[in-house]
Structure 1
Amino acid sequence: MEYLKLLGNVEQWAKDRNLDTVEARTQYTKLIEEQGELLLAMMANNINGDSGVKDSLGDYQVTLIIYCLIRGIDLKKQVEQEGDFWTEYDDLAQESKDRGSFDVNNLVYHLVHSSSRIISAYNRKRTKKLEHLSVERTMVCLHDIAKEYGTSLEETLEMAYNEIKDRKGKMINGVFVKEEDLNE
């Protein structure tokens, strides 16, 4: 499935569950939770398993897409206009690999930095443009990590969407709780 269609599907899924109405900080907290799972998977070299790198990359994108939906950052329009904008620096990344100066730890640093700037811009009431730029940089980092692990943003988002598309649950204190977690 193409990325633009997946993005639209995730947005609709979120709207159907009223996730587009939650407070941005609540969704950002979920984003950081997914970031932690991604970093743990990378440290354990868990690529394909449950909560592995591929799974975590998909979940991270879902939470980021929902955050953008909440904040009015139109990723869908940007993808419509620019395509896979996150591939813009692929040549630079390849040059780093060719020189032997590529380090996956730098990707992690840039991911944490970029995602931190998202909420920083929001908290400081900066222009939405700065917040949007931080989202773009976060997507570039996710793309670079995906490439490093032999996958793509599209593949991992499709995996995540297929996992959540039929998920039911309910909002409790502004947080969507999966149906299977309601009975615990």
Structure 2
Amino acid sequence: MTISKMRYLELLDNVEQWAKDRSLDTVEARTQYTKLIEEQGELGLAMMKDNVNGDSGVKDSLGDYQVTLIIYCLIRGIDLKTEIANEGRFWTEYDYLAQKHKEEGTFDVNKVFAYLVYSSSRMIAAYNRGRSIQLEHLSAERILEDLHEIATEYNTTLEETLEMAYNEIKDRKGKMIDGVFVKEADLHE
């Protein structure tokens, strides 16, 4: 196992435990999906504004998106850990294609974002229609592939951005209100 894969699995475990400690693994999947879409919107806005490192920038949003996806998968019983442990960083499988498209001048990170939107929509559609969990699992995999391509375009990695996000939330406190975790700072506003 490579160090980065081991670190990613460790971070994934940490995020899952953080979610369990706050009972986020018990919320309705659609509620968590709403958070996922919120992070997707922030990512799109950061890309549009070319805000890479700032608050709600691309790097920040990539990490937050992964956190919400990991929690969604936890709620739905989608086991990304086993796949990553068995197959490695499966989201890097198509790096050669992205590189080829960059060399040809046909790579467009905005199209990758559009695929991300499609994949997340496909994931919740499978859930809403009671389809096989495998369809949601495949969508979650595709989401990670899209996030990886976006991260690469912005000179970062999924590991780096997930670590940033985890370090930001690990000591966060709050409470559940109507099935939504509200961070302590937002409770006092």
TM-score by length of structure 2 reads 0.96
Q: Per-residue CA shift, 1:53-101, capped at 9, x if unaligned?
A: 0000000000000000000001111111111110000001111111111
Q: Structure 2 regions of 5+ residues with no counterpart? A: none
**Offset of residue 11 of structure 1:** 0.3
Q: CA RMSD in A?
A: 0.7
> Counterpart of 1:127 in structure 2: which amino acid?
S
Q: Map 1:1-184; keep pairs closer than 5 Å.
A: 2-184=7-189
TM-score (norm 1): 0.99
Q: Distance in 2 between matches of 1:108 and 1:59?
A: 15
Residue 181 (structure 1) shift: 0.6
Look up the SS of the partner of 1:167 in the other structure. coil
What SS does structure 1 have at the residue aligned with 2:16?
helix
Helix, strand or coil: the match of 1:170?
strand
Equivalent AA in structure 1 for residue 131 of structure 2: R
What displacement does 1:114 show? Answer: 0.5
Partner SS, residue 175 of structure 2: strand
**Runs of 4+, deviation exceeding 3 Å:** none
State the one-letter code of the partner of 2:106. S
CA distance in 2, matches of 1:181, 1:76: 31
- Cα distance in structure 2, aligned partners of 1:8 and 1:108: 26
Q: Distance in 1 between matches of 2:56 and 2:30?
A: 23
Q: Which runs of 5+ in 1 are unaligned?
A: none
Q: How far 1:121 moved relative to its partner?
A: 0.4
The total of aligned residue pairs comes to: 184
Q: Which amino acid aligns with 1:117?
A: R
Matches of 1:176 and 1:83 in 2, distance apart? 31
Structure 1 residue 104: deviation in Å?
1.1
Q: Secondary structure at the match of 1:166?
A: coil
Deviation at 1:133, TM superposition (A): 0.3
Q: Give the percent of matched residue pairs that are identical in Structure 1 and Structure 2.
A: 76
CA distance in 1, matches of 2:171, 2:77: 25
Which amino acid in 2 is paired with 1:142? L
